[in-house]
Chain A
């Protein structure tokens, strides 16, 4: 036993001497600059324009609590050829060493994303520091502007703000949080394509009403930045950006996002408007929840995919109008039929839009094809990615309508 102690002591002594050559303290937490958001834009001369938002932690009890100016973060921008060299340049002029381990969101500008982001995604995914849970967002405007103009409201810390705001799709359905690992996985998988959060600045100049949209659909037809919002954080997250092989190829609005969530079995809660069967002048609000996973069946008919979906949803009626009556089974059944038709047509719209227009299998129907083949070579031979644009869809929606109000009959 004594020998063991002597041995351990000598060994520790050697290690101590070895380690003391390195200045360990430069690493300790107060000497690091924590990046909370990364923005990537297209720069001049094929360069990328890297914007970092760095947290400036300050003691909570100090004076500058009320003022809007200190959002607890500062931004810096550099033009560089790769992300890693850009980080090095930034390290050379800021006073602390950058650390990406608490990065919450990576924003690509639309302009940059159409030229492909797979290199950047692979680079970020291979980085030891960045978490795989970091969100991927595409902004209509420049990523630099998005990061600089967006101000956290209601939440003091910017990092926390990003964390919460990208998850708002959980209770609105208007968007969906896509993280780095999801995106990377879809990038490498032949059987489905990736989507990303669609985010943007919302100022009066960006407000637009989408063309030829029925007034019923207007709330859910906005994409980022379009809705008429007056808020101090100047941003809106709504809709999804669709990718194919790492290239941005299209955008989806809020309603498409809800359909996407339904088909992916990820819908937690969303409010949609359907026409009122009893009164042409008013709308019924339904709060949708997934009742069971959608039953999806994919077959090849004459070489083109034939896709059957059976969807079960639970819908709570949220709205009342002056003469509403939800007390009879018949009325609920009528509303349910309206809702089914409404959802079926929108889901079909969404599916044909992705398959015919965008050629992108965002739902991952290709995964359901995998079990139809016995080897990977067979699967690759039928070339799902190219074949998906020939797909036919058959959607059957069944909503279980309930009254979600305190009053049943008015």
Chain B
């Protein structure tokens, strides 16, 4: 009884809308904040200056995978401050320990300068010391490495660090040494299993957080990439990294992501899927609101667009916020293809979405309520095929849809060697036998198979799930009132989509409301040289991602 009362109250009594709401602010562009920082071109002889500069550059206080190891080594009786800089996860710690730190720190303290001649005059001994060059000495004697470069400029050394080298700074020297100590975890990085592309990178994220961050660093190759660490889970203390490009992503968006992640009161988080459900805006819709991907190149692309990535230790899937509808119908392949091809592919995907959502509903609506819409000959063949079927259409179609879902589920769960067998038994033998036994009509088998194929053509797994689930609702609506029911369903469906927001971004951007379409986040891509802007719904700090003329070679300056 109470439950019924609650239900009635839920429906009829006004309650104030206490839903949490977050909207991205208006499209103000904070011009590059870096401009007022001191820019150094060349490496300074003073170590502390160099380190300060690098720490600022790398945001070392928040980026936790940048390591600065300061130490002292002595040579020729003098002590020198030195420091190595490297990115954790990209280097081989063994090499650094054994072949950089050991030779530098453990050299003989008594290594006195060699005296070439001694002259004594007026009780003052003047020792002529052999001319000693520290730079050459380190280069020639102290670093047993095969690949060492002497670098004078900061931008070069930063690039070297980003690519996995270790930089050695020594006080008094206006140069830095770049040492090749790259040590990626090659073993664990494998080919993506679930987001396969033809033209594109063939590596996927793995379960280890540091490896994933290093892959991102390697692709993005820019010191503005910030990787912040935090932990979630009162018991599990799962490590989570929030990555974004400092000079592109909107600060409020980054703040919102951090705010949501830091304000979770759960005991444990194991996977990206769990975290996704905990931080999404709207819990009751089945639409995905965060992009979940296993492809580093896709994450890098999205980061360059101004979004925020969330890496969870222990999960090979990386979440990217915000995710809007356009993201879920685009595949990482699209950006690698010419825009004509990818646009054709997207049209095909939209058709697939339409069919997988509505085809059974339209079939049942036309056959029950609108038989005049079907062309005469087609109608006669449908009617003839249903002649000896004992079930009503609704039962027949639900039977087939459910058994299809069963086949799909069974095919997923059984050990992989038996998997294809289920498919063959289910699809071929069962379908054929059902038709021969006049339990279902052949037309219906075609409808169900087209729906199934279309639902596989949807690139995003979660969106595919949503469509599969909603398909049954439209089937039911079409059954009770034909096109009126389908119109009702679509109208409410559009209403839900229109009200949805992902991290403050309306779900149907850039179409409803209208945003700029010269970006990568549109259904129909413009040619790559015209895609010179970042999506304005992300309110990025750098609204353009290419010059007005990106192909400068076409218009050489006179």
Knowing A1-B284, A24-B368, A25-B393, say if A59 contacts B384 (CB, 8 Å).
yes
| Residue of B10, B371, B376, B392 with most chain A CB atoms under a 10 A cut-off | B376
Which A residues lie within 8 Å of B7 (CB)?
6, 10
A102 to B368, Cβ gap below 8 A? no
A180 to chain B, nearest CB (A): 14
The distance in angstroms between the C-alpha atoms of A92 and B19, with both chains bound, is 60
Which B residues lie within 8 Å of A7 (CB)?
11
Let me know if B30 is at the binding interface, CB within 8 A.
no
The distance in angstroms between the C-alpha atoms of A24 and B368, with both chains bound, is 8
A60 to B384, Cβ gap below 8 A? yes
A15 to B380, Cβ gap below 8 A? no
| Residue of B7, B379, B394, B496 with most chain A CB atoms under a 10 A cut-off | B379
Which B residues lie within 8 Å of A160 (CB)?
376-377
Partner of A159, one of B10, B376, B479: B376
B284 to A25, Cβ gap below 8 A? no
The distance in angstroms between the C-alpha atoms of A403 and B119, with both chains bound, is 124
Partner of B392, one of A25, A58, A72, A129: A25
Which A residues lie within 8 Å of B201 (CB)?
none
* 8 Å CB interface, B111-145 against A: none
B398 to chain A, nearest CB (A): 13
A57 to B384, Cβ gap below 8 A? yes
B392 to A6, Cβ gap below 8 A? no
A94 to chain B, nearest CB (A): 15
**Chain A residue with minimal CB distance to B373?**
A101
B387 to A16, Cβ gap below 8 A? no
Let me know if B439 is at the binding interface, CB within 8 A.
no
A101 to B372, Cβ gap below 8 A? yes
Please encode chain A, from 21 to 58, with 1 for each CB lying within 8 Å of some chain B CB and 0 for all others.
Answer: 00011011110101010000000000000000001011
Let me know if B548 is at the binding interface, CB within 8 A.
no
Please encode chain B, from 365 to 391, with 1 for each CB lying within 8 Å of some chain A CB and 0 for all others.
Answer: 001110110101101111111110100
**Chain B residue with minimal CB distance to A27?**
B368
* 8 Å CB interface, A51-110 against B: 55, 57-60, 72, 99, 101-102, 104
B11 to A10, Cβ gap below 8 A? yes
A191 to chain B, nearest CB (A): 32
B371 to A58, Cβ gap below 8 A? no
Let me know if B509 is at the binding interface, CB within 8 A.
no
A59 to B387, Cβ gap below 8 A? yes
Partner of B386, one of A6, A10, A30, A157: A30
Let me know if B282 is at the binding interface, CB within 8 A.
yes
Which A residues lie within 8 Å of B284 (CB)?
1-2, 5
Knowing A29-B386, A99-B371, say if A3 contacts B380 (CB, 8 Å).
no
**Chain A residue with minimal CB distance to B283?**
A1
B496 to A6, Cβ gap below 8 A? no
The distance in angstroms between the C-alpha atoms of A25 and B389, with both chains bound, is 13
Interface size on B, residues (CB 8 A): 37
Partner of A29, one of B10, B379, B499: B379
A157 to B377, Cβ gap below 8 A? yes
B379 to A102, Cβ gap below 8 A? yes
B10 to A3, Cβ gap below 8 A? yes
A27 to B11, Cβ gap below 8 A? no
The distance in angstroms between the C-alpha atoms of A30 and B393, with both chains bound, is 10
Which A residues lie within 8 Å of B98 (CB)?
none
Interface residues of B: mostly helix, strand, loop or mixed?
helix
The distance in angstroms between the C-alpha atoms of A129 and B393, with both chains bound, is 22
Let me know if A301 is at the binding interface, CB within 8 A.
no
B382 to A29, Cβ gap below 8 A? yes
* 8 Å CB interface, B387-425 against A: 387, 389, 392-394
B385 to A59, Cβ gap below 8 A? yes
Knowing A15-B480, A16-B480, A102-B372, say if A4 contacts B496 (CB, 8 Å).
yes
Knowing A3-B11, A25-B392, say if A57 contacts B381 (CB, 8 Å).
yes
Which B residues lie within 8 Å of A29 (CB)?
367-368, 371, 374, 379, 382-383, 386
Let me know if B236 is at the binding interface, CB within 8 A.
no
Let me know if B229 is at the binding interface, CB within 8 A.
no
Which A residues lie within 8 Å of B492 (CB)?
8
* 8 Å CB interface, A103-136 against B: 104, 129, 131
Let me know if B516 is at the binding interface, CB within 8 A.
no
| Residue of A2, A36, A57, A160 with most chain B CB atoms under a 10 A cut-off | A57
Let me know if B188 is at the binding interface, CB within 8 A.
no
B376 to A28, Cβ gap below 8 A? no
Knowing A3-B10, A3-B11, say if A27 contacts B369 (CB, 8 Å).
yes
B381 to A19, Cβ gap below 8 A? no
Which B residues lie within 8 Å of A55 (CB)?
380
| Residue of A7, A25, A131, A163 with most chain B CB atoms under a 10 A cut-off | A25
Which B residues lie within 8 Å of A25 (CB)?
368, 392-394
Which B residues lie within 8 Å of A99 (CB)?
371-372
Let me know if B481 is at the binding interface, CB within 8 A.
yes
Which A residues lie within 8 Å of B277 (CB)?
none
**Chain B residue with minimal CB distance to A62?**
B384
Let me know if B285 is at the binding interface, CB within 8 A.
yes
Which B residues lie within 8 Å of A8 (CB)?
492
Could you list which residues of chain A lie within 8 angstroms of chain B, going by C-beta atoms? 1-8, 10, 12, 15-16, 19, 24-25, 27-30, 32, 34, 36, 55, 57-60, 72, 99, 101-102, 104, 129, 131, 157, 159-160, 163
15 intermolecular pairs with C-beta atoms under 8 Å apart: A1-B283, A6-B10, A8-B492, A10-B7, A10-B11, A16-B480, A25-B394, A29-B371, A30-B382, A30-B387, A36-B376, A55-B380, A57-B384, A58-B384, A157-B376
| Interface contacts beyond A28-B367, A102-B372: sample of 6 additional A-B pairs, CB < 8 Å, sorted by A | A10-B7, A27-B368, A28-B393, A30-B387, A57-B387, A60-B384
Pairs A-B, 6 closest by C-beta atoms: A101-B372, A57-B380, A57-B384, A30-B386, A25-B392, A19-B480
Could you list which residues of chain B lie within 8 angstroms of chain A, going by C-beta atoms? 7, 10-11, 19, 282-285, 367-369, 371-372, 374, 376-377, 379-387, 389, 392-394, 476-477, 479-481, 492, 496, 499
